Amino acid sequence: MSVRRENRIAAMQFLYQWGVDSTMPVTEALRLFFESKEQPREYYSFGEELAVGAVEHLEEVDNVIRKYAKNWDFDRIARIDLAILRLAIYEMLHRRDIPPIVSINEAIDLSKDFSIPDAKRFINGILDQFKLTLDRPLRKADI
């Protein structure tokens, strides 16, 4: 498994945890989360960037999810699927160094590994619709 994949998994796990209990300040929650990981915190610098960015832009990201999750009550979206969507949408909106197609593919792979079998269709449906609104190349970084 690549370092970036491990970092995305860590970011998704943090977002899942943060979605369940966001009462602690994010800096403290990140410190505790990364202390529990096998590798030193520096190893997860990419994942930490993604997690922090997703939390900082949570309202914007959640509004995108609400817009494209048609016929779904936001509060009924599985927490793991919500964490995966938050990560991918943050990347698509704010990480121009990551091609949107890569973010979508990574989200689908995460859903295959961490969610139920039908989740990949739900996640792909939302991300596929959202990608059509982006004003940048879909298959290459825009930096």
- 25-54 pLDDT per residue, tens: 999 999 999 999 999 999 999 999 999 999
Give domain status of residue 51, yes or no.
yes
Give domain status of residue 27, yes or no.
yes
Q: How confident is the model at residue 22 (pLDDT cuts 50, 70, 90)?
A: confident
CATH number for the domain harbouring residue 69: 1.10.940.10
CA-based angle 120:91:49, to the nearest 5?
Answer: 120
Q: How many CB atoms lie within 10 A of CB 126?
A: 24
Give domain status of residue 77, yes or no.
yes
Phi, psi of 95, rounded to the nearest 5 degrees: -110, 85
68 has pLDDT over 90: yes
For the entire predicted model, the pTM comes to 0.94
Q: How far apart are CA 23 and CA 21, in angstroms?
A: 6
Q: How confident is the model at residue 139 (pLDDT cuts 50, 70, 90)?
A: confident
Distances (CA, A) of 124 to 74, 89, 110, 112, 116: 16, 11, 11, 11, 14
76 burial via Cβ count (<10 Å: 0-12, 13-18, 19+): exposed
| Domain around 97 | 3-131
Q: What is the mean pLDDT of the chain?
A: 94
When divided into structural domains, the chain yields a total of 1
